[in-house]
Amino acid sequence: MKRLTLAILMLAAPDLGAEILVPVRTIRAKEIIGAADFVTKDVSVAGALTEPDDLIGQEARVALYPGRPVRAGDIGPPAIVGRNDIVTLVFAQGPLRIMTEGRSLGRGAAGETVRAMNLSSRTTVTGRIQSDGSIEVY
């Protein structure tokens, strides 16, 4: 009787499948994702992205393979500072504002923390990447 009840419940239950987004081609890490790079697939996968707006314009953090689900951790905002880029280091405290040249020791998008080397003193500092590509030193 339990099996019959379970079978009836499974048949009566609505289809909970969702459309997920999957790449149509291999997308390499650090590549910007466009609208033509993915299609929807009618299957339910926990943690997979379902909204195209979540993908378009984002950067792949890892390689994305055709037909495989894309998860939120696989993508992120495009990096504006690359490793070994020459950047402006800014230290601001109250009315004091010091600016100098530095070399980025990492890669990241606006708002992310990165280490950089002050080219004048050869000191390594940590700061937050600003939208203009400068690094605000802590």
Domains and CATH numbers, the chain: 16-76 (3.90.1210.10), 86-137 (2.30.30.760)
Q: Which pLDDT belongs to residue 18?
A: 75
Per the listing, tokens 């504006």 go with 80
pLDDT by residue, tens only, the chain of 138 residues: 545 444 444 444 444 557 999 999 999 999 999 999 999 999 989 999 999 999 999 999 999 999 999 999 999 999 999 999 999 999 999 999 999 999 999 999 999 999 999 999 999 999 999 999 999 999
Q: Which pLDDT belongs to residue 11?
A: 45
Phi/psi of residue 8, nearest 5 degrees: -65, -40
Q: Which pLDDT belongs to residue 10?
A: 44
